[in-house]
Structure 1
């Protein structure tokens, strides 16, 4: 069996996941939908997608499609996740999957009722380099972990048509890129923070930057900086009692990632595994559908990240 994919929207982020589906031996990108049929047709032609639709409902009505990738603006995720599940489709949804716990509960209930899988698109949690960081920590190579710090910053061009600048559509740097260090911290600590505090720089109802401190208890902390108004950086450091792990690209451009362990004045450069950044989440979803495997990113993990975001925002 080949897993048939559909995509809801012609969003810019699609250019990242489409190659992963095209390159997969077990997946086929069958259709794309937009609310503008001409736009959908042009997009399908550009990306070699066989079918195009002028509404999301039409795509969901195609019984050949097994799974949909949702890359709509953040405030539309919950509605179309539930509609996709009700149409009999598994769902891979861009982060953030939901903007409130009420919405999350609605998604969770719909998934339970239909018996279908919903997974949030934290592509870095599927990548073997992230699994390498986890194994280094779990083996005790760094000693006891006391602190983690990370950032995801870049200069985002302002635009009225970009939901990232709209507070009513789930805009802001925390929702857009702050979720990456939060999800990484919680994966590496195997825990959720018990407390959170933050400083935000806000314009027109959205945070252009957020600096946050997370308290994981037992003397364990994590700090991150997320920003739409700073030069690009994703540098991350894991501090242990015996050594530190330095990572250059934990979230983007994985092929350029460099990492090393520092023990006092000694440097151990790591052999970082390479894989197309979005391949893992595509393959995992296909494993779920074809082999009954479990999601790498569970709904519970997603819920814990959402709770942390809401703590920071409060």
Structure 2
């Protein structure tokens, strides 16, 4: 099958720094087009793909017969509409997280995906990172005994950037939707369980959450996690079992954050450290998407998985108590 020819809607910094290079470098595809009304913003993408075709509108890009798949890094509130438009135009679609603002919107996307015969998915890259498969395998084989508690944290501080879309309520900003998907989705991926008894304590600022303390149960496993866009950068995930623990030092964007290590600690055993600094999770994600789009093999992270994470976020918001 021919390689997947990618187009990007919008010249976001994240697309230029991470996903643009991955779309062009990953096996089975190449970056061919970009939609932006600012020619100067296209220059960074032309450094990635010198023959890049630049469209002045999103509609023009999704109508381009030279584009097979569309990557959508637009503000959160625009994700559903443009995913649907791209599917209707006969394109495969990879949309940034969160793919929707509410779980029922994902049902609409699933229906459109199935009717189109094209692949549509959320850009949830961590499930393609080998460290997460390593953690899931360790827990499945009982390396820490019976899993009893999961503890997570992901935060950074963008309080000095009022223009940032993550600080704009009308664009779907806030900590939960931007980074809560990671502490939630990773736990669902590892345990294979869905949460109950979901609650949260949230600090609000101008209509969006800047600190969310989330609690839940995954079967018999208790869960506690915090996400914030007003704290010093930090991230970790720890899985506590009856016989040991597993700690991830850079669970979500290592080695940008730091050394990507999975540390296994068990009483009576030497500490075991597995390092994953060489893994390129964005490339792995795109390569898997390309393979599924061209061969029809099942995509490892379908919209149905994304809906489960959104269901938990919806419940956290619904059951939240304000900290202010």
Flag whether TM exceeds 0.5 (same fold): yes
RMSD over aligned Cα, in angstroms? Answer: 1.6
Deviations 1:181-227 (A, max 9, x none): 1000111110110121111111111111101111123x311111100
Could you tell me which of 129, 132, 135 is aligned with 1:133? 135
1:278 matched residue in structure 2: 282
Q: Secondary structure at the match of 2:152?
A: strand
Task: Compute the displacement of 1:312 (Å).
Answer: 0.2
1:19 matched residue in structure 2: 21
Task: Compute the displacement of 1:157 (Å).
Answer: 4.0
1:292 matched residue in structure 2: 296
Distance 2:162 2:155 in 1: 20
Are 1:59 and 2:57 matched, yes or no? no
Distance 2:241 2:183 in 1: 18
TM-score after normalising by structure 1:
0.95
Q: Secondary structure at the match of 2:274?
A: coil
Q: Secondary structure at the match of 1:293?
A: coil
Deviations 1:92-138 (A, max 9, x none): 11100000133222211111110111111111111111110110011
Query: Are the equivalent residues in 1 in contact too, given 2:149–2:239 (CA < 8 A)?
Result: yes
Deviations 1:241-282 (A, max 9, x none): 111011101111247212211112644223234311211110
Distance 1:242 1:40 in 2: 52
Query: Are the equivalent residues in 2 in contact too, given 1:32–1:51 (CA < 8 A)?
Result: yes
Query: Are the equivalent residues in 2 in contact too, given 1:32–1:40 (CA < 8 A)?
Result: no
Q: Secondary structure at the match of 1:108?
A: helix
Comparing 139-148 with 98-107, which one deviates more in the overlay?
98-107
The within-5 A match list for 1:14-53 is: 14=15, 15-34=17-36, 36-39=37-40, 41-49=42-50, 50-53=52-55
Q: Secondary structure at the match of 1:192?
A: coil
Are 1:72 and 2:74 matched, yes or no? yes
Comparing 70-79 with 98-107, which one deviates more in the overlay?
98-107
The within-5 A match list for 1:165-176 is: 165-176=167-178
The within-5 A match list for 1:105-144 is: 105-144=107-146
Distance 2:249 2:290 in 1: 30
Could you tell me which of 139, 162, 165 is aligned with 1:163? 165
Q: Secondary structure at the match of 1:256?
A: coil
1:306 matched residue in structure 2: 310
TM-score after normalising by structure 2:
0.92
Distance 1:242 1:281, change over 3 A: same
Could you tell me which of 61, 82, 85 is aligned with 1:83? 85
Query: Are the equivalent residues in 2 in contact too, given 1:8–1:68 (CA < 8 A)?
Result: yes
Deviations 1:14-55 (A, max 9, x none): 111122222224211000112x15245434434335200110
Name the count of aligned residue pairs: 312
Could you tell me which of 187, 202, 205 is aligned with 1:203? 205
Distance 2:78 2:160 in 1: 21
Q: Secondary structure at the match of 1:235?
A: strand
